[in-house]
Amino acid sequence: MNNEMNISEVISELDRISSLYDQHQALSTSMDNVVDEKKAEDDSFAEEIVTTLNEFRKKQDQKFSAKKPNIAPACLATLPESPKKPSTLNPTKDLFIGAISGLIMMFSVAFWLIMIIINPDNSALGLVFLSVLMMLGSLAFWFVKGASKVAMFVDWQKNQKEWKEKQKEWETEFNKSATKEENERFLNEFKEYDTCFLKLVEVCSQKYAEEFKRYEAGLEAIKEKYLNKLEQIHNELSKVSERLDNVTLIHSDLFSNAWRISSMLKTGRADSLKEAINLALDEERKDIEEAARRAEARQQEAILEQQARDNRMHNAAMQRAAEDEARATRAHNAAMERAAEAQAKAAEAQAKEAAKQSEIAQKQARDAERAASARCAGCANWSKCSYTAKQNAGACGAYRPR
C-alpha cells in the first residue's frame, strides 16, 4: 500500500515536473520570438533610415552644379611619335660609305662614257679598261651596299622633316592652349568644384547626423517597447525555473523525460522509479534512432526521386533526339526516293528519246537502202553483180547508169 501510494505520489510529482518543464520551454521559445521580433523591427527601422539617407543623397547629386574641370585637350594631346631611327651602330661611317660610293659610282660611269665618246686609239686601251673596271666595280658596290645605306638616311631625313613639322603644329596648338589664363581657369574651376563637393559632403553629413540621432532614438523606443514584454516573460520564466530548481525527485537532465517516466509507471511497464527512468531513457534513445532513420530514409527518397527525375529528363531528351533522327532519316529517304524517281523519269525520257532516235536512224537506213537498191536496179552492171553485192548496194562504188 505504501509502495502504491509512493508510486502514485511519484507519478503526480512527475506529471507536475513535466508540466513545469513544458511551461519553461514555452516561455523560452516565447522569449526567443520576442527577441527575433525586436531584431526584425530594428533591421526594418535601420533600412528605412538608410533609404531616407540614400534618397537625400540622390537629390543632392541632382543639385550638384559644378562641372568637371578639364585641362585643355590640346595640352593633353600626346606628342607625335618620332620616326624609327636607321638601325646602324656607326651612322657617320655608314653615311660616308654610302654617299662616297655613290659619288664614285657617278664619276666612274662618267669617266667610262667619256672614254667611249672620245674613242681613244690603242695607246689608251689601258685607260678604257680601267674605266670599265672602275665603272663595274663601283656600280656593283653601289647596288649591293651603298644605295641601301643612302636610302636609309634619306628616308629617315624625310620622315624626320615630316615629324618636325607635326611637332611644330603640336607645339603651336599647345602654346595656344597652355596659357597662364587657361591654367588659372582650370584651377578656378577646380576651386569651384571643391567648394560644391565639400558643401555636398557637409550637407549630407548633417543629414546623416540627424538621421543617426533619429535612429538611436528609434532603437531606444523599440527597446523600451520590447523590454516590458521581455521582463514579463523573464519573471514568469524565473518563477518556473525556481520551481524546477526545487525538484528533488529526478535529476534536472531528466526533466524532458518526466512525462515518459510517468507513463512507464502509469502503464505498469515499470515497478520502480529507477526502472522507469531506464526504460524511458531506452525509449528516448530508440525514438532518436527512429527519427534519425526516418530522416535518412527521407533523404534517400529525395535522392532517388531526384535520380528518377534526372532519368526521366534524360530519357525524354534521348527520345526527342531519336525522334529527331528518325524524322531526319525519313526526310532524307524521301529526298533520296524523289531523287531516284526523278532519275528514273530522266532515264525513261532518255530511253524514249534514244528509241525515237533509233527509229529515225532505222527509217533513214531503210530509206537509204531502198534508194541504193533502186539505184542498183538502174545500174548497167546490175546483171554482173553478185547477190551479196546487190544486198550491199549502199556500199557499192561501181555504179554506172544505163
Partner 1 sequence: MKFFYSPMKLIELIKNSGSIAKELEEHGADWYFSKEGEKTYNDAKTLAQKTMYFFDYLMAVSKSKDNRNILYRTAYIMANSMDSSSLEFAGYPNILDSTKNPLVNYIKTTSLVSKETTAHGIMMLAALNHEDDAHKYLNTEYKPYTRITYCEADGSISDKYKIERDIIGAFCVDFSGQYMPPYMYEIVESSNDDEND
Enumerate binding residues for partner 1 (CB under 8 A): 50, 53-54, 56-57, 61, 64, 68-71, 75-76, 78-79, 81, 85-86, 88, 91-92, 95-96, 98-100, 102-103, 106, 142-143, 147-148, 150-151, 153-154, 156-157, 160, 167, 170-171, 174-175, 178, 183, 186-187, 190-191, 193-194, 197-198, 200-201, 204-205, 207-209, 212
Please report how close the Cβ of residue 37 comes to partner 1 at its closest, in angstroms: 25
Please report how close the Cβ of residue 215 comes to partner 1 at its closest, in angstroms: 11
**Nearer to partner 1 by C-beta: 77 or 339?**
77
Give every CB contact of residue 265 below 8 A, 6+ residues apart in sequence.
7, 10, 11, 14, 273, 276
Q: Which long-range contacts (CB under 8 A, 24 or more apart) does 112-121 make?
A: none
Please report how close the Cβ of residue 281 comes to partner 1 at its closest, in angstroms: 54
Report the C-alpha gap between 88 and 149 in whole angstroms: 9
DSSP 8-state symbol, 401: B
Helix (H/G/I), strand (E/B), else coil: 379 = strand
Report the C-alpha gap between 381 and 214 in whole angstroms: 144
**Nearer to partner 1 by C-beta: 75 or 385?**
75
**Nearer to partner 1 by C-beta: 132 or 178?**
178
**Nearer to partner 1 by C-beta: 112 or 142?**
142
Count other C-beta atoms under 10 Å from residue 393's C-beta: 21
Please report how close the Cβ of residue 38 comes to partner 1 at its closest, in angstroms: 22
DSSP 8-state symbol, 271: S
**Nearer to partner 1 by C-beta: 171 or 367?**
171
Please report how close the Cβ of residue 299 comes to partner 1 at its closest, in angstroms: 43
Please report how close the Cβ of residue 209 comes to partner 1 at its closest, in angstroms: 8
Inter-axis angle of helices 2-63 and 180-245, to 10 degrees?
170
Q: Which residue in the block uniquely carries the three cell numbers 531616407?
A: 52
Give every CB contact of residue 38 below 8 A, 6+ residues apart in sequence.
222, 223, 226
Q: What angle do CA 385, 389, 394 make, to 5 degrees?
A: 120
**Nearer to partner 1 by C-beta: 167 or 272?**
167
C-alpha cell at 142: 653601289
Please report how close the Cβ of residue 217 comes to partner 1 at its closest, in angstroms: 17
**Nearer to partner 1 by C-beta: 86 or 394?**
86
Contact 72, 177 (CB under 8 A): yes
